[in-house]
Amino acid sequence: MKTPKVLIDYKLCKRCGICSHFCPKQVFVCDELNGAQVDKEEDCIACEKCVIMCPEMAIEIITQKEE
Ligand code: SF4
Ligand code: SF4
């Protein structure tokens, strides 16, 4: 599997930090000023915990098959 793309819609993100709390791979860094930032996208395992837990539905994980 290629590295998934982790997309955050900043029009929706409320900077709550839930995604960074629940991500098992510490993909996000989050602070109150900037909200969630994708820090280590290459570590993402596409478990979609962040997608499920984000109260604003602001996260999308795009997975691509190996060509
Ligand atoms: S869980 Fe959603 S709303 Fe909260 S910081 Fe992460 S992306 Fe933003
Ligand atoms: S899909 Fe899983 S590993 Fe990837 S950013 Fe979301 S919670 Fe973290």
pTM: 0.91
Number of domains in the chain: 1
Ligand 2 geometric centre to CA of 63 (Å)? 11
The string of DSSP codes covering 12-31 is T-----HHHHH-TT--EEEE
Ligand 2 geometric centre to CA of 61 (Å)? 8
Residue 67 in any domain: the answer is no
CATH code for the domain of 50: 3.30.70.20
Closest C-alpha to ligand 2, atom 6? 50
Closest ligand 1 atom to Cα of 9? 7
Residue 24 in any domain: the answer is yes
What tokens appear for 30 in the block? 């989050």
End-to-end CA distance of the chain: 9
Residue 34: which domain range?
5-62
Q: What tens digit of pLDDT does each residue of 16-55 get?
A: 999 999 999 999 998 878 889 999 999 999 999 999 999 9
